Chain A
Amino acid sequence: DAGITQSPRHKVTETGTPVTLRCHQTENHRYMYWYRQDPGHGLRLIHYSYGVKDTDKGEVSDGYSVSRSKTEDFLLTLESATSSQTSVYFCAITTGTGYNEQFFGPGTRLTVL
């Protein structure tokens, strides 16, 4: 257990509204990641962070922004939610360097109507 929690665990929202998902870790790991999981696509990287205020884009970053003002929290914001962003979102951390295995949170199921 890497001490990762995500909130909320489930959310239903409407198109055009902003949504923020939170990932919290308790072990001061440097690297944190946000993925989305969709049938037939596996997990795709949205954004990642390699330290406080240090973030970078992943494969599917359009429509998403992130912030990391504290080591333990990594926030994912959907600036104006669309139905195509209905998905399950997973946060992950890496111990040590960014090449090591990743450990995942329990996920947030987001539905955009």
Chain B
Amino acid sequence: GQQLNQSPQSMFIQEGEDVSMNCTSSSIFNTWLWYKQDPGEGPVLLIALYKAGELTSNGRLTAQFGITRKDSFLNISASIPSDVGIYFCAGHMNYGGSQGNLIFGKGTKLSVKP
């Protein structure tokens, strides 16, 4: 089945640093989404991307839909303590019999540097 490779698996941040994570796939997607999940809660939608090459911002977050439609990245600028959590990429395709489901990566866990 389709898989999304998300990297890095985990990273430590210091307040004020910029953070970057990415997601790659062997399949083409027509939508990329980025979610953040806090412990014990459901994922919260951060950014949705619909066109190859699209660059979209949401406050300090910026995400891009790769030209090949097989990858996406998320940047967080000037990180703050509440950015800690797990970030998931998710892809959607409207073909191959799949109408509804999102395919998720395994997540990037952001923690505060000790």
Do these two chains interact?
Answer: no
Which residues of B approach A to under 8 Å, CB–CB? none
